[in-house]
Amino acid sequence: MIEVEKLSKSFGRQEVLRGVDLTVEAGEIVGLLGPNGAGKTTLVNILSTLVLPDSGTARVAGFDVVTESDEVRRRISITGQSSAVDELLTADENLRMIGRLSGLSASSSRQRSAELLARFDLVDAARRRVASYSGGMRRRLDLALSLVVAKPVVFLDEPTTGLDTRSRRELWAAIRTLADDGAAVLLTTQYLEEADQLADRVALLDGGRVVASGTADDLKARIGDELSLPAPTLDDVFLALTGRN
């Protein structure tokens, strides 16, 4: 579903990505880890057609992100790291707007909005302007907006940042459901517990490359052997592999 090969991207003289290889299969959740500034958001932005790569190829749902961006856009949903909601509208108006833009009828949009407001615990705030929301409420709306219609490829850039524990657990369950329904999910996170619990595989981005990938248990076993640690956590893996230990 997502196939990335030798992808590179520089901003000016700064080489952010230097030949990234990555695949995500349908029904799979891949957690993309890496220190701040490693290029996780840049990679997600390239895959979601917001940013052009310099070289290499990336195909999403079988289409090239550079030359077939319209086809890619029909098949993806993205929750970016920074919020993408309309502050002057209410949550309900935001959801219905995205529903209409996704090709739903007015009545289906209204119905879908009601479902998602309930699911993301925003019913009480539904008719208030988003500008008055707390950070976590805004984040939940952002996530709901990405799920108005089901898409085969889902990008989530630090989706649970700023969410309370309950909302985080619920979102994990929701993401699991998406994958069980066959979506390919690429999610970035700084919470290694999240990657451990949720991701089928993790990929660790550092120095512009994927320096390790596999199931969390594989990586832990590998690092445990290398460093002779009895019970390594994903934190140990992260620190060992990003050279900050």
Ligand X SMILES: Nc1ncnc2c1ncn2[C@@H]1O[C@H](COP(=O)(O)OP(=O)(O)OP(=O)(O)O)[C@@H](O)[C@H]1O
The least CB distance from residue 35 to ligand X, in Å, is 7
Binding segment for Mg ion among 8-16, 38-46, 195-203, 234-242 (CB under 5 A)? 38-46
Bridge-based pairing state of the strands 76-79 and 153-157: parallel
* Closer residue to ligand X in complex, CB, 33/154: 33
* Closer residue to other proteins in complex, CB, 85/237: 85
Choose the contact partner of 34 out of ligand X, other proteins, Mg ion, none; CB within 5 to 8 A by kind. ligand X
* Closer residue to Mg ion in complex, CB, 79/90: 79
The least CB distance from residue 100 to ligand X, in Å, is 30
Q: Which residues contact 4 (CB under 8 A, 6 or more apart)?
A: 20, 21, 22, 23, 43, 47, 56, 57, 58
Q: Which residues contact other proteins (rule: CB under 8 A)?
A: 48-52, 69-71, 73-76, 78, 80, 82-89, 93, 97-98, 100-104, 108, 111-112, 115-116, 118-119, 129, 145, 147-152, 173-174, 177-178, 181
Please say whether the beta carbons of 38 and 31 come within 8 A: no
Please say whether the beta carbons of 77 and 146 come within 8 A: yes
Please say whether the beta carbons of 87 and 130 come within 8 A: yes
Q: Is 69 in the site for Mg ion (CB under 5 A)?
A: no
Measure the CA–CA gap between 195 and 34, rounded to whole angstroms: 12
The least CB distance from residue 74 to other proteins, in Å, is 4
* Closer residue to ligand X in complex, CB, 37/62: 37
Q: Where are the alpha helices (DSSP H) in the chain?
A: 40-47, 69-75, 91-101, 106-119, 135-146, 165-180, 192-198, 216-227, 234-241
Measure the CA–CA gap between 57 and 39, rounded to whole angstroms: 16
Please say whether the beta carbons of 61 and 75 come within 8 A: yes
Choose the contact partner of 239 out of Mg ion, ligand X, other proteins, none; CB within 5 to 8 A by kind. none
Site string for ligand X, 34-73 (x = CB under 6 A): x-xxxxxxx-------------------------------
What number of residues does the chain have? 245
* Closer residue to other proteins in complex, CB, 83/190: 83
Residues forming the site for Mg ion (CB under 5 A): 40-41, 81
